[in-house]
Structures are given as C-alpha cells and as structure tokens.
Structure 1
Amino acid sequence: MTSGHVGRTYGESTPWWPQPPTPREGAPDVIVVVLDDVGFGSLGCYGSEIDTPTMDALAAEGLRYTNFHVTPLCSPTRASLLTGRNHHAVGMSLLSNADSGFPGKRGTITHRAATIAEVLRDTGYNTYAFGKWHVAPMDQTSAIGPYDQWPLGRGFDRYYGFLEGISDQYYPELVQDNHRVEPPRTPEEGYHLTEDLVDRAIACVSDHKSVGPDKPYLLYLAMGAGHAPHQAPQEYLRRYRGRYDEGWDVIRQRRHARQIELGIIPPGTALAPRNDGVRPWAELPEEERAVAARLQESFAAMMEHTDTHLARLLAHLDRIGTRENTLIVLMSDNGASQEGGGLGNTNSIAYENGDEVPHADNHARLDEIGGPRCHGNYPWGWAQAGNTPLKRYKQNTHAGGVRAPLVVSWPGHVPAGEVREQFHHVIDVTPTILDAVGARMPETYRGVAQLPVHGTSMSYTFADAAAPTRRPTQYFEMYGHRAIWHEGWKAVAYHERGTSYDDDRWELYHLDEDFSECHDLAAERPGVLHELIGRWWSEAERYDVFPLDDRNFAERAAMYHSAASPRRRRSFTLYPEMSRIPGGVSPLIYDRSYRIDAEVRLRAGDEGVLISQGDVNGGHVLYVAGDRPHYEYNHQGTRYRLHGHSLLPEGEHVLSVVFTRTGSCQGVAVLEVDGRPASRKEPITTAKYLIGWQGMVLGRDALSPVSWDYPHGFPFTGTIERVRVELDTTPDTVHEIFD
C-alpha cells in the first residue's frame, strides 16, 4: 500500500483505494474520422459535386483547413497521425506490408513513439478503433501474432475492422480485438462494411456512455472509403448514373470554379494542366468513356454512402446529448489514387503485379462495377479531378499527393464555417488533440525513452484566422519522390523509378502565391532552390529517410529476409480447425513451382472446398463437386480450370495439385488423385507478386469467392485430415525473394 495503514485487525487499520487516472474536468470526447484516398477536391465542402451533406455540415459548424498536408500513402500517414512524429522516424517509410531491413523502413511503429491511444488511455480515456488499421506488419497478422502492433497492442481497448490496406466492402476479412471473425451478414442480406463499422461505433458509444457518462473516450474511425474497390449499394450507384458522362475536363473546371467561390482556394489560382498520360475526355473512344464514367460513379456513390452512415453516428451523439462536448477531426490520408492506371481497372491485383487490365475486359464488366463481383478503380483523369486544382496523385510529393481536406468541429471552441490557411501536417493532429484534452506525450512510456513529438498543436488557429503558421518546415518523401516546404516555399522532385536520383529535376514554387504549383520558379530563383534542396537532405538525415528506395510496394512486400518471418517457410501443414491465414502469411506460391496435397475422407455425395486462397481478383481453389476433384487458378480474372475425369470412390484419398514453373509467370498444372494424374493444363499464367488480397482458408471459400463455379462458401461436407503445401526452393523462381 502507498497510503493507509495495515494493522493486526480491521479496527487498527486504515483502508486506502488506488485512484485510476482521471482526465481534466470537461475533457471532450474525441472522434477522428479518416477517409482513404479522398483527394483535396473530392468533398462537397471542398468544391465537389458529390453529395456529402454530413461532412459539409461538419465544415459549416467548424473549420476547414486548406493548407493541411499528409504523407503520400496510407500507412505512413496513419503512423504519423497516431504518434505525432514523422513517418520515417517511427519506422513506416512505406506500407506495413514490407520490412526493408533499415531503421526507417520497418513497416511498423517503433515503441519509442507512443500512440495517441496509449497516452489517452493512461490519462483516463477509453479508446476504441474501428476500420482500417494497416500499421501492423502483415506477416505478423496471423493467429500467432505477435500482437504488439495490433490495435489492442498500441493502446486501443477495443477494435473491429481490417488489418490490411485494402478491403472488399462486401466481403471484408474482419478482426475483432485480437481474433478473426466473419461478417455478420452477406451482401445478399444487405451487408456493407461501412454500415457495419458505424453500427459498431454507435453500439460502442452507447455502451460507454451508459456505464461511464462522465468518462471521455477516443474513437478512431478509419473508413475503407474511398479506397478501391469502390463499392456501394445499388440504390447509391443508381443515383450517379450519367452524372459523369461529361467527363473529367468539365468536372474539374466546375470544381475549380466552386473552390474559388467557397474560398477554398485563392482567387486567381490556376487549374493545373492535365497530368502526363491523362487524355482529353473528348478524345476517348465511346466505350472507354462509358467505363471511365461508370468507375467514377462508383466512387461518388461510395462517398455519399459513407456520408449517410456518418450522419447516423452524429445523430446518435445528438440523441444522447454528447455532441456539444465532442471534438471531431475529419481528414483524408492522402490524395486521390493513381492506381487505376490510364484506363481505370476492374481488378486491383493487376495493378500490383504491374499489369494493365485490357479495356475490353473492363468494358465486359461494365454492369458489375460497384458491386461485389468487381474491384474497380477510376482512371488517372478522375484521380486528378479528385485532387482539383492540383497536379499528380497519391504516392507523389506534388500537392495532389499530399494536400488533403481537414475539417475540425468542436462546438463552442472553434468558430463555425471559417477557413484556415496556415500550413500544417498530419503530425500536428495528435499534439492538437493532446492540447485539447489537457494531456502531454510522456518522455518515457512503459520504460522506453520516447522520440520527441515532431508536430505542433493547431489550436492557436482556432480563434485566429490571421495567426502566422507555427510550422516553419516539413519534408516529404515517397518512392524516391522528394519535397520540402519551408516558410511558404516548396521544392519538389518527381522521380522516375529506376533512374538516378541525381538526374531528378527539382521544381520550385512559392505556395503563398501559387496554390496549385503551376509556376515553376527554379530558373528564376536558383538560390532559394539550392537552399531548400540542402535543407531537404538535412531533414532527411534527421528523420531516418535513407536509404532512398524506389522499388514498388509489391516488390518490397515480397521480401521477408527476417529469419523469424513465416513467409520464409517452404513447407506448410494445415489443419481444418485453423482460422483464416491472412494474405501476408499465406504460402508464397507466386511464380514458382508448388505442390498441394489434401488428405481427405469421402462419403458418397460429399462436396465442397478443400483449400482456397484469394478472392475475385485472383486466387486458387481445390474442391470436390459431382464426385470429382476440381482445381481453379484465377489469374487476375483469367480462369484456368482442371476437372478430374473419374468419379471419386468413398474412402480416404489424397487430392493433389502439382504446379511446375516452365518460365516467367507461367507453368503447367496437374490435378492428381492418390498420386495418379487426373487432369492437366498448360500454359497457365501466374501472379508475379500478389495472387489476391484475401488469405487462405480450409474447408470453405467464405468471403469474396475465388471461383463462380460453386455456391457461395461451398463448405466441405467430408473430412479433411490435413493439407500440405510444399514450395519449390529454387531462389530464382521467386525473383530471388530468399537470396
């Protein structure tokens, strides 16, 4: 005991009870809503024609920031948002799918950087996270963990959402707290991830306020919208039919004019010219326009659908009387995505493997866009429209990648309907929240000395629109693209993958006078440019940016050199009781020889899936139907099917697939029954880096289906003893992954 007294009897003793941490009186509830891949010009309150009345209302009762910046990619922004530190400094240079073996590139948040959830929980808050996480290493997201980088390991009391960077909105791979769960309903029953997340958030707030009405909470709500796949219920898709037939040139001009009218951009701001590769809408063939318009319709429908459900959460706060003391932060993690390519695509895995979906394939799926059978993403022209009036996209350090919408609502503490122009960065959000709740980041957390907070509280801007920015400098880097902002000037270099960094051309913009980065002053002000470039190298050294690395995400994600990584395994024995193995831990069958042996016991009429991996984008599945074995390899929508010719008798069998690589990303597959060939097919083209987003499971194909040749889920009715997966050990068959 640290107080009181323990005597021989109760009468001789003085009791004492330890007091839990207590927030300051009147400390607000805090809700942080993170949108995904939503560009600067994509919300109604930032000039868009997309119907987002709930977000617009938040802006009308709070502040809109027009000079708010993020990193060019999701995991790094989330790492900075949660910690208040620069992303390289905490170990998240790129995505949590890759550990490149360097301090700034671990794909994880160092424990030297406590999160806002860890700090607020120790201050007396309850902490809840819903939705996208994507800051835990993907090879640490299986049932064996480790769990220290999962939400509950980084300060959240409860979690419900998905750990990967992308999720099918109809068939998400869900995690609740520290275990995997199945979606509560099917798409046919009306399921959509956004509605589910908001349902859970509302229930959580109700639980919290029913039991602890005076105790504040932090609610981190990270939506899947508007990251591809852009999926929304049919009623929302129908609302946008035909609304984008005029094309991206007209829409971009309208958004630009509306932004000036709203005061979001200064009068005289130039509309950036079309990015490289973006064709004038009028020059597109009619069928290409039809696909491009439909892809943008699905994005807009997804955003309105998200807005509708966000309205339910805010209405619930009003109903229970807590809205007035709730600080709400609404932001996007980066600019609109270039990952749809020049034509747009209907298969997100194709992009990750460096392939473009042929236009004919996109057009053939026109009526599937936005639904559960399609993972669609809009083309570059619509991405640039999403970033109006800016140039370039997500992944780039030009403004289109890093200038993002930010709305702050806090009744009675921020004025209503005003705009703020001070330069700020995502690392400033956590210091702002800490300032609002009266907490601070500790110098030591759980015995670990902490990195200094790199961000600055934005609270000085709440009451003073004219206050000078308190952030003098901010660097940016992604995939070798580099930039630095300093006292109103910005130097930026676009990097062509595979070229020398010394050949990159640095541009110079005076952002105080050139909001959209249209007037390059590099030739006119070489002294300013030289000073900024030198400052970038200094900041990069300070924050662990080096070594520069321009390899794409899939290349880096395929590399698991750590001896502890399960991805280095070449032999797997799987048992039917196991939970789903996530994609980051599933056997690496990509572009290599492999063998699958399923040991089963069959009765007459038994059928179902034995092993499946992947989703509608790509994957493979071994199953029994019609008393015959079947194997399907789905390569980015091209389906290779093998069917056993003979009936399977009752009893014990080993049903096998033997794939032999015969060249780069191709080979021959043989379906075997008890060691005897039953079917053969060649050539089969295979995935290079990623086969599908969803992981591996035995005995069913329960989420986004690999194949359409059986009923959804198709659970196996026989007995699976075990399934063995053996991978070829030849290094060059997997691009020297295991060198």
Structure 2
Amino acid sequence: MSKKPFLVQLNQKLVKRWSCFLFSVPLLAVLLFACQPAPKEEAKTSSAVGADGFDRTHLPMTPPEVPVITALDARDATAPKPWAVKAPDGAPNVVIVLIDDMGFGQSSSFGGAIRMPAADKLADEGIRFNRFHTTALCSPTRTALLSGRNHHSNNMGGITEVATAFEGNTGLTPQSCATVAEILKLNGYNTAHFGKNHETAAWEISPSGPFTHWPVYKGFEKFYGFMGGETNQFYPGIYDGTTKVEVDSEDPNYHFTEDMTDHAISWMKAQKSLTPDKPFFMYFAPGATHAPHQPPASYLDKYKGEFDDGWDAYRQKTLDRQIKMGIVPEGTKLAPKPDYIKDWDKLSPTEQKVFARQMEIFAAFGEHVDDQVGRLYQSIEDLGIADNTLFIYILGDNGASAEGMANGLLNENTYFNGVAEDIDMMAANLDKLGTRESYGHFAAGWAVAGNTPFKWTKQVAGNFGGTRNGLIMVWPGKLKQTDVVRDQFCHAIDIVPTILEAAHVPEPVSVNGVEQKPIEGFSMLKTFDDPKTPEFHNTQYFEIVGNRAIYQDGWVASTVHKAPWEDGPRGKLVDDKWELYNVNEDFSESTDLAADNPEKVEELKQVFMDEAVKYHVLPIDDRTIERFDPATAGRPDLMNGRKSLTVYEGMSGMLENAFINIKNTSSKFTTEVEVKPGANGVILAMGGLFGGYSLWVDKGKPVFTYNWVGLKQYDVNSSKALSAGKHTIEFEFAYDGGGMGKGGNGTLFIDGEKVGEARIDNTNGNMFSLDEGADVGFDEATNVSRRYKVGENKFNGKINYVTIAVE
C-alpha cells in the first residue's frame, strides 16, 4: 500500500494534536499554496466556457453529451435540443482586401497619383493607418496576415518557390499556426478566399497534392483563384477549390479581377440569402497590381500624359499631398533615392517616353482593381449589412516592386532568367504594353517613387519603402470617429488579433487537436475610438534574403544587404553596414544617425539577434535566384531526383515545381500517337507566349518549338508528315553545357528515322513561367508558338503517352 502524502500526514497530526479544525485547515491551505509553482500569466492555455455555453479555446467545439433515453415510446420522451456551432452574438462580417505590390505613395488615399475612388470613400468613412507594416515580400506577408504570427514562425522566410530545408524557411505553414479563416469557421462563420494564393508550397501544387496547404484545407470553405505569385489577367490559371477550371479567356472583355469579383459577390449574396444571421469572412486578394501590369483595354489611356514629368517630380508632388492630407507629419523630408535610379531630366527622350507609358499602364491597373473593390463594397451596402461588416483594405503586401530593373520590362520572365531587355526594342513595341501581347513591369524608378517618401522598395526589409503600406479600416456601425489617421506602429500580424477581438472570439489553445503557437500580434481595436492609445507593438523584426531591420520604441536599426537589381549580396552578412533612424522624429528615414550613436546601433543589433533566435530567422540565407532550384535550396521536389516522367492526355496545369526540369541539361521527349491524315495540334506544352516549349504537329508534320523568354522562338521542323496510324515521335536536345541558359542542338525522329534538326541558341536558365504550366493534348492559356492559335490547338489524334527524360 502506498504511503500517504507528506502534507496529508502532517495535517492529520496537527488536527489530532490540537483538535482545532479552524486552525488546521488554514494551515494546510498555506502549506499547499507554498508548495505550488508560481501562478502563470492568465492563460491563453486554459479552457473557458463563455456565457453562451461554448468553449471556444479548443476547436472544433465539442457538442454536449446526449442523455440516455430509456422510454420505449417516442411520445413519452423529450428530444434533446438541436446543437450547432454559432458565432458569438454581434460578431461582424469581416472582409480583408489585399492589393498586391502597391507602394505607400501610389494610391490617392495616401497622397499618390493613382485615382482610387473606392479607397477614398472608405477612408472618408473609416480610419487610415499610416504606420502599418508588411514583410517586404508577398508569401511572407500573407502568412503573417492570415495567422497573426511572424513569417518565419510560419516557415515562410521567402516566397514558396525559394523555400529551403531550414525551420523558418521550409515553405510549409505549420498546423500550429491556424489561419483566422480556420478559427472563424470553427466559431460559426462562413469563409471564402478569392484571388491570389501564394501560401501553398510550390511542389504541392499538382493534381497529386497533398492538398493540406491549399486554401480549402486551411479554413476556407470556398476558394476561387490562382495558385502562385502572379497570373496573366487575360489567361489566368484558375482553381475552384482544388479543381482546375477553364475560364472564357477568349472573350475580348474577360479580365480576371472582374471575374473574381463577380464570384465573390455571388458567394456573399448566396450566403446572406440562405443564412442571413450567420457572419462571413472573406479574403479578397487580387493579382493586381503585381506584374504583369494588365488593365482592361478600356482603361489603357486613362492616364495619358499624366506622368510625363517623371518620377522625381512625382515624389515631390506626392510628399506635398501627403503632408497636406496629414498622412505624414509636417517637416517630413524625401529620403534620398538610390544611386541606381537616374534623375529624370538626365534620361533620353526615348527613355522618358517608354517610362512614362509604363507608369500610365500601372496607374490604370491600380484604378481598375480599386473599381472592383468598389463594386464589392457597394454590394455589401446594397445587402444592408455594411453596419455589421468590418472592412479591412490593405493597399499592398509589400512596397512597390523594383523587379522591372532600370528599364522596365515587356516580359517579366526575362528578369527571372537574367536576360536584359533593350530600351529601343521596348520603344518599338510600346503599343503592346498592358495588352495580351505583353507581360510587363515598370522601371525601378517608379517603384521608388511609388514608395514615397521612403528610399527603397519591395524585397528590402531593411527600409520602410519595402515594408510600409497604406491601411484603411471601416466599420460603419462601430466607429465613433471617421476620416482620421492613426499613427500607432502596427504590423500585418496585428490584423488577426484585431479581428478576433472584434468578433468576441478568444485565441484558441488548440485547433483540430494541434496545440497552437501563441499569436504574436496585438489587437488594434482600441485605436478605433481612442487616437491616443499607447503604442502596443513596441518591437518588430524584419528580414528578407539578408535585408533586415529591427524596430523598437521609435528607433530603427537596419541594413540593406542586397538591392533588387543587384546580382548578389554586397558582402558577407557579418560585414553589413547598419543604419539608425529615430522614426518618431524622422518619418521617412531620411537621416542616418548611426555614426553619432554607435552604442544604440549595437543595442538594437542585439535585439534583432534575440528576435531572430526566437522566431527561427536564423540561419539567414541570402541566395536569391539560386534558390529557385530545389536541389540547390534543399527543399522537397515532387520529382524526387527522377530522370524521367511519363504523362498522359488530359493532364494540365502542371506548374514547373511539380514537373520534370529540363533546364540546363540534355533531354529527350518520346510520345506514341495514333493519327489520321492531316494531324494537327499540341502534344505537350510547357509555359506559354512569354517562355516555354511545345511538341506539336502542323498539318501532319511534327514540330518542336522553344520559346526563349518571349524574345525569340526556335522551331525544329520535320521534313516528313505522319501517315495514318500509330507512330512514335522523338525529340532529342543536346545541351552545350558550360553554364545556365546555354544553347544546344535539337533533332526530331519519327519511328526512329531522323526527320529534322536545328540549332536552339538560347534557353531559359531559371524558369519558363510563374503562372502557366504543362498541358498534354493542348496548350492552355497563352500559346508557346505563334504558329498556332490560343483555343484552337487541341490535338486531333490520340496520345497514348509522353515521356520526358533528362540526363
């Protein structure tokens, strides 16, 4: 028999000795209390049943036990009341709108020149936040925004396509960081996501999944949008849930932003029709204004001539408006622009003409996406639910993008393959910019101007130009003050706790059986009513590919390790030069105080290291383009080292990260087809008009087309046509070697007989397309070869298989 616990024996002796119940019980309580550990801070980890009878800290919620019924006849028994999860009383609808790649100084709502009437209306009826921050890159910001945890806590130190094997950078969002969609869904909300999803590991985007990191398994009951960093607005690769769907892209009036808005409005109307008392959460994330810059044709000339005075004048005009509007404090100075950005008045007339047109196209794109947001909000008002809808409009997931380099781009794919575009060539094709014939991007000078009053751009986490974005919040039924500016420092991770507090939903301890990491952001809700709310977010780190900064109590220490237009880092991480800014007095980070305050710099550098260890930022990986290769980066690869892949007719939309990689090596394509005389159509295509390859048949003759970054097409043509019947077609590519993106010789065979050969002088060294994948039996979206037409290239024979093999 086990011994009695010591305290029990002691208490029994005391009671026996003094026979004093009133003495012994208090003494026992004191002794018991003294032996307990110190009380913990009140729990994010304790179960709590609310006044409505729901324990919302452990999700999903558990139904009550049903009493056992012993009555034989149902007439003699009382049925238990139906049980269902319900949202807390008064829980609002919540909409997050996230614009892509828009800088702090681009929208009219924050002093910019792009007319955004919907944002202006919402700002007039709501609150602007002028010190809201992102991470400087899209995937990291989006995971932080949806989970309330820092991007490295979400394993999203970079975009998913450059994930590595290190914690903090794996590209696989952990189950311990449940999204706000999952939390709200399990608290009685309907949930939907429209537009861009760049939070799923790139190698998991295939018909084989796994689908655990797709939106419909991360809390969204409805998903209609594209997977990856960007999409062609006229030829998007769209999924409904996990199913690839075709859109009517051949309709000359089709535009994806309008299409996704139609779907969002229809979903919202249906939800409110059938369950009017049930709140909804919508994440509305257009591809605009990320490249390719593609507004509808009707918007192309809306800004004709408005940017002829250039980016230097734009910066000054924008700052003047920002000061007048109260967006930035009086006395704010323009931070100096990087040396890489030329003065506008030193550019040639051709450069000025090209660059001005690039900004006209971008501005039109920005106005168009805002018009769609306006349509969405008008539908909310028309449904009579605006007063109970918290509408969050975020103007950019990072600063404006400088990935267009010095001259801008007709085809952004050239940037990712390290191929320069000539200014004269762009001038000769200027009428194509913004249309279906381009995949364009503006020059880096416009990115710097778009981030006015700051110096740097997207990717540069070491400067507010990369991380400061405009934020508007509207809640007509709740806001006591409107058309006001709040200047408390805040971050993307603060959105989730704000939503949860507004919805009266506690932070969960566990979700789907997985213990949750504590939410790392802070609620902004108090600022809605009190402009003098003390700053709640006192410390925040920033890091993207070695560019890094630390904010603490009004001070920022930062370093620029690599500019977006630089081929590699400026040096070793340990040798980086740090700058210091007092941003309570210097809004734009215009005056570096590091030389006069070395002790403060060292203090903040240590704070950065402490935060870096805490949130799995280390080790820092400053490689960029190299990390697009899975083997180099050390991340999973769906091919898993396979040297061959066999695919079958009807398979489509297989993105590069889920397909065999033929770049920078020799390869062989083998297919067996059955045809009738006059065979035509595509057997296999990867990519599209802006880069890719295609094995196809033209009037019975096989052809292999290699489209080099949209600049040149190489055709290897057969001299012989296919006769009726079954045939084996082979294409062999002998790579020259000697580095990335080199050329080689291509040879075609029919049933083992050589029927054609030609030289392919250049190849894509890094990628074919970010948004168009491989198709078998047709070429979806844009066409790899200009010799066949979009929508009219389906193979008219039978494809038994296609095998691609690499050395």
TM-score under structure 2 length normalisation? 0.88
Using the TM superposition, give the Cα deviation of residue 108 of structure 1 relative to its aligned residue in structure 2, in angstroms: 2.0
Q: Counterpart of 1:25 in 2: which secondary structure? A: coil
Unaligned runs of 5+ residues in structure 2 are 1-63, 563-567
1:528 alignment counterpart: 600
User: 1:269: which partner in 2?
Assistant: 332
- For each residue in 1:139-190, what CA deviation from the matched residue of structure 2 results, as whole angstroms up to 9, or x when unmatched? 101111001000011001010001111111111111101111111x125431
Cα shift at 1:503: 1.3
Task: Give me the whole-angstrom Cα distance separating, in 2, the residues matched to 1:272 and 1:422.
Answer: 21
Aligned equivalent of 1:344, options 408, 425, 429 = 408
Aligned residue in 1 for 2:789:
711
- Residue 737 of structure 1 corresponds to none
Post-superposition offset of 1:12? 4.4
Tell me, yes or no, if structure 1 residue 169 matches structure 2 residue 169.
Answer: no
2:806 aligned with 1:724 = no
Out of 399-408 and 552-561, give the one that drifted further.
552-561
What does residue 477 of structure 2 align with? Answer: 412
Structure 1 402/300 Cα, relative in aligned 2: closer, same or farther at 3 Å?
same
Q: Report the equivalent of 1:596.
A: 669
Letter in 2 for 1:148: T
CA contact (8 A) 1:4 1:15 kept: no
| Greater Cα radius of gyration, structure 1 or 2 | 2
> How big is the shift at 1:506?
0.2
Partner of 1:508: 580
CA deviation after TM superposition for structure 1 residue 561, in Å: 4.3
Q: CA deviation at 1:104?
A: 0.6
Q: Hey, what's the Cα distance between the residues in 2 that align with 1:562 and 1:674?
A: 39
Q: Which moved more, 1:436-445 or 1:387-396?
A: 436-445
Whole-Å separation in 1 of the counterparts to 2:453 and 2:783: 39
Q: CA deviation at 1:578?
A: 2.1
Query: Per the alignment, in what secondary structure is the counterpart of residue 294 of structure 2?
Result: coil
- Does structure 2 conserve the Cα–Cα contact (< 8 Å) formed by 1:161 and 1:176? yes
Distance across 2 between alignment mates of 1:283 and 1:674: 61
Quick one: structure 1 residues 553 and 134, their matched pair in 2 at CA, closer, same or farther if it must change by over 3 Å? Answer: farther
Q: How does 1:326-341 map to 2 (within 5 A)?
A: 326-331=389-394, 332-341=396-405
Please show how residues 305-454 of structure 1 align to structure 2 within 5 Å: 305-331=368-394, 332-397=396-461, 398-414=463-479, 415-454=481-520
Question: How do residues 531-680 of structure 1 correspond to structure 2 at under 5 angstroms?
Answer: 531-553=603-625, 555-559=627-631, 561=634, 565-566=638-639, 568-637=641-710, 638-663=712-737, 664=739, 665=741, 666-680=743-757
Give the superposition deviation at 1:18. Answer: 4.6
Residue 73 of structure 1 corresponds to 137
In the TM superposition, what is the alpha-carbon distance from 1:388 to its structure 2 partner?
A: 0.7
Using the aligned pairs only, state the percent identity. 38
Instruction: List per-residue Cα deviations over 1:198-245 (Å, max 9, x = no partner).
Output: 000000001100000010000000110110000011110111222222
- Rounded Cα–Cα distance in structure 1 between residues aligned with 2:350 and 2:755: 42
Q: What is aligned with 1:689?
A: 766
On the 8 A contact 2:132/2:492 being kept in 1, the answer is: yes
Specify the code of the residue in structure 2 equivalent to 1:659.
F
d(CA) in 2 for partners of 1:433 and 1:552? 34
Cα displacement (A) at 1:311: 1.4
Using the alignment, how far apart are the partners of 1:614 and 1:554 within structure 2? Answer: 20
Residue in structure 2 matched with residue 734 of structure 1 by the alignment: none
Contact kept? 2:163, 2:627, Cα under 8 Å: no
Contact map agreement 2:656 2:768 (CA 8 A) in 1:
no
- Alignment counterpart, residue 525 of structure 2, candidates 437, 459, 475: 459
RMSD: 1.4
The 10-residue stretch of structure 1 (479-488 or 307-316) with the greater mean CA deviation from structure 2: 307-316
C-alpha distance in 1 between matches for 2:491 and 2:392: 13
Shift of 1:683: 4.2
Distance 2:784 2:409 in 1: 18
**Deviation (angstroms), 1:587:** 1.6
For residues 105-149 of structure 1, the C-alpha deviation after alignment (integer angstroms, 9 at most, x for no partner) is: 111211111110010001100100001011110110111100100
Equivalence for 2:167: 103
CA-to-aligned-CA distance 1:484-522 (integer Å, 9 cap, x gap): 000000000111434211210000000001111110000
SS in 2 for 1:568: coil
Residue identity in the other structure for 2:492: V
C-alpha distance in 2 between matches for 1:489 and 1:594: 55
Q: 1:564 to 1:592 in 2, by over 3 A?
A: closer
Separation in 1, partners of 2:502, 2:580: 36
Number of the residue aligned with 1:280: 343
Which portions of structure 1, spanning 4 or more consecutive aligned residues, are displaced by more than 6 angstroms? none
In the alignment, which residue of structure 1 is the partner of 2:92? Answer: 28
Deviation at 1:358? Answer: 2.1
Distance 1:562 1:68, change over 3 A: closer
Contact 1:567–1:588 at 8 Å: present in 2 too? no
Of 547, 550, 572 in structure 2, the residue corresponding to residue 484 of structure 1 is 550
Deviation at 1:606, TM superposition (A): 2.1
Q: Distance in 1 between matches of 2:560 and 2:718?
A: 53
**Residues 628 and 766 in structure 2, CA contact (< 8 A), matched pair in contact too:** no
- Please give the secondary structure, in 1, of the residue aligned with 2:459: coil
Offset, 1:574: 0.7
TM-aligned CA deviation for residue 563 of structure 1: 6.3
The residue that corresponds to 2:296 in the other structure is 233
Q: 2: distance between equivalents of 1:556 and 1:100?
A: 10
CA contact (8 A) 1:225 1:306 kept: yes
Aligned-partner Cα distance in 2 for 1:454–1:563: 28
C-alpha distance in 2 between matches for 1:460 and 1:354:
48
Corresponding residue to 2:264 among 201, 219, 223? 201
Distance 2:643 2:194 in 1: 35
CA distances 1:271-321 after superposition (whole Å, capped 9, x unpaired): 122223100112112222222112111111111111111111111111111
Q: Does the Cα contact within 8 Å between 2:670 and 2:731 map onto a contact in 1?
A: yes
* Contact residue 567 and residue 587 of structure 1 kept, 8 A: no
Conserved 8 A contact 1:187-1:372? no
Q: Deviations over 1:345-366 (max 9, x none)?
A: 1111111122322223322321
For the 8 Å contact 2:408–2:444, the answer to whether it is kept is yes
SS at match of 2:736: strand
Distance, in Å, in 1 between the alignment partners of 2:457 and 2:468 is 10
In structure 2, the CA distance between the partners of 1:176 and 1:152, relative to structure 1 (3 Å rule), is same
Greater mean deviation of Cα atoms: 89-98 or 26-35:
89-98
Contact 1:21 1:124 in 2 (8 A): yes
Checking the alignment, whether the CA contact within 8 Å between 2:354 and 2:430 is kept in structure 1 is yes
Structure 1: which amino acid aligns with 2:803? R
Corresponding residue for 1:518? 590
Partner Cα distance (2:199, 2:209) in 1: 14
Change (3 A) 1:687 1:539: same
CA distance in 2, matches of 1:17, 1:723: 59
**Secondary structure at the counterpart of residue 405 of structure 1:** strand
Please tell me the residue identity of whatever aligns with 1:508: L
Q: Which secondary structure does the structure 1 equivalent of 2:596 belong to?
A: coil
User: How many residues end up aligned between the 2 structures?
Assistant: 727
Q: How does 1:1-16 map to 2 (within 5 A)?
A: 2-7=65-70, 8-16=72-80
